[in-house]
Amino acid sequence: MKKLLNTLYVTSENSYLSLDGENVVILEGESERGRLPLHNLEGIVSFGYRGTSPALMGACAERNISLCYLTPQGKFLARVTGRTRGNVLLRERQYDIFKKEESLGIARNCMTGKIFNARWVLERALRDHSMQIDSEQVRTASEHLKNSLEMIKTSQSMDQLRGYEGEAASIYFGVFDELILQQKTEFSFQGRNRRPPLDAVNAMLSFTYTLLANTMTSALECVGLDPYVGFMHGDRPGRASLALDMMEELRSVLADRFVLTLINKKIVSGKDFQKKENGAVIMKDDARRKIISEWQKRKQETILHPFLGEKVEWGIVPHVQAMLLARYLRGDLDEYPPFLWK
């Protein structure tokens, strides 16, 4: 159980939510795990199947407290809101910004978070493994990313921003192989490729990015935003463009570092992958299950959120960022604060 920005997150899959007077009560079996006054809440997000009492659902609807349900793995199930909940106005604001230059400011902040975090992944490698990597090559790439940050902050158009982002991503992935410290023969990385991935590293990156995109889509659904209307990624039927915008900040620090951990700690091996006749490399079923299990463990690890200054689980970070974007769109924040990790 964790309360952030007036939203209660119930992360235990065995919890049942009930109403006691003016309080929401979290129960596991017959034991009470916690309670909070309803008047302190704007929303409740539950990662579990046991559900909510009808009395609590009615009280939340009456007080315009949104109830959002996800699976324990973070897949969005449903959202229950009261009659006067302002999601329509929030989405109208989102659609309005999508058509205006203000969308460039949000996109710039998302890309600032992406490049800042990618740079600090490289800086962390220099700090911790300088004797095992080509330090000069990685340090040069880090300096390029530092310069890219300045250009991104002053970009004047979406095309210009995409150009700077693409160049920075190329520089980052150009030294990504240096961060692979173990099993170099089985997990050599020569550059980013997809549809299909042509090596085991790219297969894991693509799979993990999909897991992250699904989590971000669920987070945006929970706060009432439309995941399919983004600011940087263009509209395409069936593509969650806003989720792709928002997950950019977390690719390197959450997904990429997770893949590196799988390799460097030898959680996966070359035997977990097979190469198809068309050159595509795919994960075997056992490897996929293993990676999903490790992903769930990683999401439970706790960090200090740089903007909130509070400890949160990695799995909650996408929900916090979605909530911060919603607050910016409602006018509660002067700008959208990207996730900046060190």
- In angstroms, the CA 225 to CA 236 distance is 17
pLDDT at 278: 83
Average pLDDT over residues 325-339: 92
Band of pLDDT at residue 95, cut at 50, 70 and 90? confident
Which pLDDT score, from 0 to 100, does residue 233 have?
Answer: 78
pLDDT at 236 over 70: no
- Return the minimum-mean-pLDDT range out of 1-15, 114-128, 275-289, 314-328: 1-15
Q: Is the peptide bond before 196 cis (omega within 30 degrees of 0)?
A: yes
pLDDT score recorded for residue 240: 85
pLDDT at residue 229, rounded to an integer: 86
pLDDT of residue 288: 86
- The pTM of the full predicted model, rounded to 2 decimals, is 0.81
Confidence at residue 216, expressed as pLDDT on a 0 to 100 scale: 92
The mean pLDDT of 182-186, rounded to a whole number, is 89
What pLDDT does 257 receive?
Answer: 96
Residue 90 clears pLDDT 60, i.e. is over it = yes
Lowest mean pLDDT among 46-55, 121-130, 211-220: 46-55
More confident residue, 45 or 122: 122
Cα separations in angstroms, 235 against 95, 160, 312: 12, 18, 32
Tell me how far apart the 2 most distant CA atoms of the chain are, in Å: 64
Q: Give me the count of residues in the chain.
A: 342
The answer on pLDDT for 130 being more than 90 is no
The sign of the torsion formed by the CA atoms of 227, 228, 229, 233 equals: positive
Q: Let me know: does 39 contact 73? Beta carbons within 8 Å.
A: no
At 302 the pLDDT is: 93
> By the 8 A CB rule, do 4 and 308 touch?
yes
Is the model's pLDDT at 1 over the cut of 90? no
Quick one: pLDDT band at residue 125, thresholds 50, 70, 90?
Answer: very high
pLDDT over 60 at 307, yes or no: yes
pLDDT (0 to 100) of residue 144: 95
* Mean per-residue pLDDT, 332-339: 93
Q: Where are the alpha helices (DSSP H) in the chain?
A: 54-62, 87-98, 102-129, 135-153, 158-174, 200-223, 241-247, 257-264, 285-299, 317-329
Q: DSSP letter string over 153-182?
A: HT--SHHHHHHHHHHHHHHHHHSGGGG--S
